[in-house]
Amino acid sequence: MKKITPNKSAKPVKSGKSGSVGSTQRQLKVKVKTTHKRPTRSNQWLERHLNDPYVAAARVAGYRSRSAFKLIEIDDKYRLLKPGQIVLDLGAAPGGWSQIAAQRTKADNPASSKPGQVVAIDYLAFDPIAGVEILQLDFMDETAPGKLKSMLRAPLADVVLSDMAAPTTGHTRTDHLRIMGLAEAAIAFACEVLKPGGAFLSKVFQGGTENDLLRALKQHFAVVRHIKPPSSRAESAELYVLATGFKGAKGGSDQETSA
């Protein structure tokens, strides 16, 4: 049971252009009634989730998840997604990133003069999305890379997105290594499937090994950045790494880094 009370200190979320978090109404503070059946940590997560303006905005906008705003914010700044592009979305469920990719590449509009293509993979099932071809399979399955490549309308893709995250164990070091392992697998795949000049965006976590991943990316991309979009919770160790200007399958020796 939830007790909903007005939050007098809450400020209206600023409205913005299409896809941004916006509301002109005063937000309500949702209080979660504690219960012995639910751990305190779970109560805290639930209350934070229910009072998250991005969660509310995603619901209003019809996005599958609040993470859609992370891709919106990154793309608004760095212009990764363009009409006509071929995009691969790794770890796509429940589909927030795929929705944005389909909209911005025009994959959801076959009548467009430059319709794109979005291919998404996840071991979890999720509802169909207009303009998105979905493969339900674990990306770490040895057959996954080949199946993804066979779904592309051209030999190479323009953008590889990865918001993959491994189920947590509660052990910080183990969880960090597992997420970084997924990021490394995504990088290896991106280097196989991207066309020269292509881009790679992946979730990583701060924890001591992300610099090794950056060094690997610098061998293959002209510019590598660490990004923490505004919609990424401040208390989270979550970061995103953006690599642009893919040098081709053989990589290159020149490197450039940007914070």
H and E: helices and strands count for the chain: 7, 9
Residue 95 binned pLDDT confidence (cut-offs 50, 70, 90):
very high
Residue that is written with structure tokens 């290159």 in the block: 252
Contact 136, 127 (CB under 8 A): no
Residue 13 binned pLDDT confidence (cut-offs 50, 70, 90):
very low
Average pLDDT of the chain, as a whole number: 80
| Residues pairing with 31 in the sheet | 3
Neighbours of 109 (CB within 10 A): 16
Residue 165 binned pLDDT confidence (cut-offs 50, 70, 90):
confident
What share of the chain in percent tops pLDDT 90? 55
* pLDDT at 88 (0 to 100): 98
| 173: exposed, middle or buried (Cβ count in 10 Å: 0-12, 13-18, 19+) | exposed
Catalytic residue annotation: 203
| Cα four-point dihedral sign 79, 81, 87, 91 | positive
Domain 68-246 belongs to what topology? Rossmann fold (3.40.50)
Residue 72 has pLDDT above 90, yes or no: yes
**CATH 3.40.50.150 in the chain, residue ranges:** 68-246
pTM flag (> 0.75): yes
Residue 39 has pLDDT above 90, yes or no: no
| 189: exposed, middle or buried (Cβ count in 10 Å: 0-12, 13-18, 19+) | buried
| Residues pairing with 223 in the sheet | 244
Residue 224 has pLDDT above 70, yes or no: yes
